[in-house]
Amino acid sequence: MLIYEGKGKKLYLTQEQGYIQAEFKDDLTAFNAQKRGEQKGKGELNCLISQALFELLESKGIATHYVKLIENHIMLCKKIEMIPLEVVVRNIATGSLTKRLGLEEGRSLPFALVEFYYKDDALGDPLLNDEHCLILGAVRDREVLQELREMGKRINEILSEFFISRDLVLVDFKLEFGFSEEGELLLADELSPDNLRLWDKHTGKKLDKDVFRQDLGDVKNAYEEVLHRIKGEGK
Ligand code: UDP
C-alpha cells in the first residue's frame, strides 16, 4: 500500500510490520520543484548508491533505517517517525551558502558546517537556528539537535574519507533522520547524488544533481560514474 510519494521516492507499507519499502523514482526536481525532468535508470542508480553508502556507514557504527535491497530500485527500510528537518553538512562553499553569505564559490570552510532547514515546501525550506527548531516543535529538546549535529559531523568524516579514496571531493550533502519505534535515532532518506555534491578531485568536474540544475550534461552518465567509483570499478 502506497503511504507517501515524495519528489524522489514512493514509500509502501509491507506485510512485515515496522518496515516500509522505498521505491526510487526516475524523476528529477530542483529549485523547490520549479525545474522538473526525468532520467530513466536514475532511480536504480540512486538506490544502489544509497545501499553502498548505508552499508558503509552501518559498518562504521552509524545506525540507519536501511535493511536490505529488494530490487535494484527498491530498498527495505525500518519504518520510522521522521524529524521534519534537513540536516545539511558543508565542507566547501557553494549553492545557497555562497548566495546567503557572499562567500567565494569553491572556498574550503575552516570546519564542517552543520545547518538545519525546515522541511516545508510552502515556506521554501527555510534555514533555522536552534530556537526556531524548538519553537516549531521539530525536535523535543536541545539534546536531539546536538545529537543530529554530532551524527552529521561523524557521517561527514566517514563519507569524506571514503570518497577521497575514490578521487571524489564531498562538497556538501543533506541528511534526514527519524526515530525508530524503539526510540533510536536513525539516519534515513537516501544518500545519492541527488543530495550529495561530489566534485572530481583532479578536474573539479561536477558529478551530482548540479549537472541537472545547471544543464551541465548527461545526468545518468554522472551518476553512473559515481556508482562505478564507489564500487571501485574506476571509469
Ligand atoms: N539539498 C537537498 N535537498 C534540498 C536542499 C539541499 O538534498 O532540498 C542538498 C544539496 O544537494 C546540497 C546541499 O543539500 O548537496 C546543500 O544545498 P544548498 O543549501 O546549497 O541548496 P541549493 O544550492 O541546492 O539550493
Domain boundaries, the chain: 2-78, 83-218
pLDDT band at 129 (very low <50, low <70, confident <90, very high): very high
Question: Is the CB of 97 within 6 Å of ligand 1?
Answer: yes
Q: Which CATH architecture does the domain made up of 83-218 adopt? A: 2-Layer Sandwich (3.30)
Q: Could you tell me where the beta strands, DSSP code E, fall in the chain? A: 2-5, 9-13, 19-24, 27-30, 35-38, 66-71, 74-78, 81-82, 85-92, 108-118, 127-128, 168-175, 177-179, 185-187, 196-200
* Nearest atom in ligand 1 to 88's CA: 14
CA–centroid distance, 68 to ligand 1, in Å, is 26
Burial class of residue 180 in the structure, from the number of CB atoms within 10 Å of its CB (0-12 exposed, 13-18 middle, 19+ buried): middle
Ligand 1 midpoint to CA 174 (Å): 6
Q: Say if pTM beats, i.e. exceeds, 0.95.
A: yes
Residue 32: band (very low, low, confident or very high) from pLDDT cuts 50, 70, 90: confident
Q: Is the pLDDT of residue 235 over 80?
A: no
Q: Is the CB of 172 under 6 A from ligand 1?
A: yes
pLDDT mean across residues, the chain: 97
Going by CATH, does the domain composed of 2-78 fall within 3.30.200.20? yes
Q: Do domains 2-78 and 83-218 have the same CATH topology?
A: no
pLDDT score at 233: 87
* Vertex 39 angle, CA 35 and 44, to 5°: 125
Q: Is the pLDDT of residue 221 over 80?
A: yes
Using the predicted structure, report yes or no on whether residue 125 has a pLDDT greater than 80.
Answer: yes
Q: How confident is the model at residue 234 (pLDDT cuts 50, 70, 90)?
A: low
| Residue 195 in contact with ligand 1 by CB distance below 6 A | yes
Give the per-residue pLDDT at 155: 99
Q: How far apart are CA 157 and CA 14, in angstroms?
A: 34
Q: Is the pLDDT of residue 113 over 60?
A: yes
The three cell numbers locating residue 8: 524522489
The 10s digit of each residue's pLDDT in 180-211 is 999 999 999 999 999 999 999 999 999 999 99
